Amino acid sequence: MKKQQTNINQEVLLLCERTDIAQFLHVYIRHLFKQGVAMNNVQIINFNGMERLQALLKRLENMEGADKVRKALIIADSEDNIRSKSQKIGSVVRHSFLVELEYCQHYFFPGRRSSRGWHHGYLEDVLLQVLQQDSSEECGYYNLYNITADFLLSVNGCRGREYQLKNESRHMLCSYLSGTDKYAGMRIAEAAQLGAFDLDNQKFDSLKNYLLML
């Protein structure tokens, strides 16, 4: 996924805000296929930050295969200002070839609040909620989780109020996994592939529904 895209080879595109999202979706979609879920093949593209989305779309428009694209889903973290981010995506889409597609939507991690919009936060927020309890190995799940939380509390204290960790759940998750032998040093997608998370959890229902619309 680090390689620069040179052509479009699928009718459905998943455009992801960052590498961890793109890699996790690759694992999650493979999981759905293994479970017998019928869905179209997709091409996953990482655009490396919202400020680069417009440039990516201009590049994709001129690639071989762009005329065959029928559907697209932009997947990002909601962070704190959901309305602003939604408007920014909408503006970029309206001035791109995506506006001509039969389907183009966006999906924000950590997921939807039923019909009330989106939860604030990041992919790692939902992953923390679906951690398998046996992922802690010999430490005991709650012991390792609480020790990790205490460690990050100390880290934030050292950093000071102006420099608090932005995506604290990401640091929490990576620190938790580093306390194990099986998952230490792995990226999120690698840990997901080895069973660190419950990918069948209902927390992923909204994501699954969006993917099935493709």
Q: In angstroms, rounded to a whole number, what is the distance separating the alpha carbons of residues 131 and 2?
A: 27
Backbone angles phi, psi at 120, to 5 degrees: -75, 145
Preceding omega of 110 cis (within 30 degrees of 0): yes
Beta-carbon contacts of 38 under 8 Å, excluding residues fewer than 6 positions away, are none
> How many CB atoms are located within 10 Å of the residue 11 CB?
18
pLDDT in tens, 5-34: 678 999 999 999 999 999 999 999 999 999
pTM greater than 0.85 (yes/no) = yes
How does pLDDT run across 88-108, given as a tens digit for each residue?
A: 999 999 999 999 999 999 999
CB of 158 within 8 A of CB of 151?
Answer: no
Strands 12-16 and 103-109: unpaired
d(CA 111, CA 46): 19
